[in-house]
Amino acid sequence: MLTLLVGTSRPQSRTRRVADFYATLLDELGAAYQFLDLVDLPADFLNEALYHNAGQHPEFNRLIAPLDQSDKIVIFAPEYNCSIPGALKAFIDGLPYPGGIRGKKAALVSLSSGSQGGSLALSHLTDILFYLGTAVLPQRVRLPNISQHLSKEGIITDPLLRQVLREQAQALLAL
């Protein structure tokens, strides 16, 4: 099983629309997947699920349970202030350690309103995942100027961006 992790807690985000588009590619490739959307993080997550409370928050434990069924994960990380969203970092910090995503294979997709497409976010996220023992697929996809290339219906309109997303999905499924 493959998990699509929407790496922002922002409701109705472009990140979710990109993840939904990726899911259509996986459908075409015949791959099973599930979503884990950080919009579903418990409201008291920061105060009640981290540090000395790790593993003791029932709602957070239910949210992360699908990761146990996945050996592969696609993380969709929008660029916030030249890095990943704080919600994504806190989510990762709340995962069981060691464990959580250790030993999993990860594909990374970043998106940004700017021309760099979240390259700094990808770099930061890659460093975090390497530290945690997650194998990161070399085909890390950046989606620059996302506002210009993502329709309101969630379609990536740029043929090159669609191609690199499909190629990444195929490479991840081949592992």
pLDDT digit string (tens) for 7-60? 999 999 999 999 999 999 999 999 999 999 999 999 999 988 888 888 889 999
> Whole-angstrom Cα distance, residue 80 to residue 164?
22
In this prediction, residue 4 has a pLDDT band, given cuts at 50, 70 and 90, of very high
Indicate if the pLDDT at residue 150 is higher than 90: yes
> Can you point out the beta strands (E) in the chain?
2-6, 33-37, 72-78, 105-111, 135-136, 141-143
> Whole-angstrom Cα distance, residue 141 to residue 4?
14
In this prediction, residue 122 has a pLDDT band, given cuts at 50, 70 and 90, of very high
CB 147 within 8 A of CB 15: no
CATH topology of domain 2-174: Rossmann fold (3.40.50)
Indicate if the pLDDT at residue 171 is higher than 90: yes
pLDDT digit string (tens) for 70-107? 999 999 999 999 999 999 999 999 998 888 899 999 99
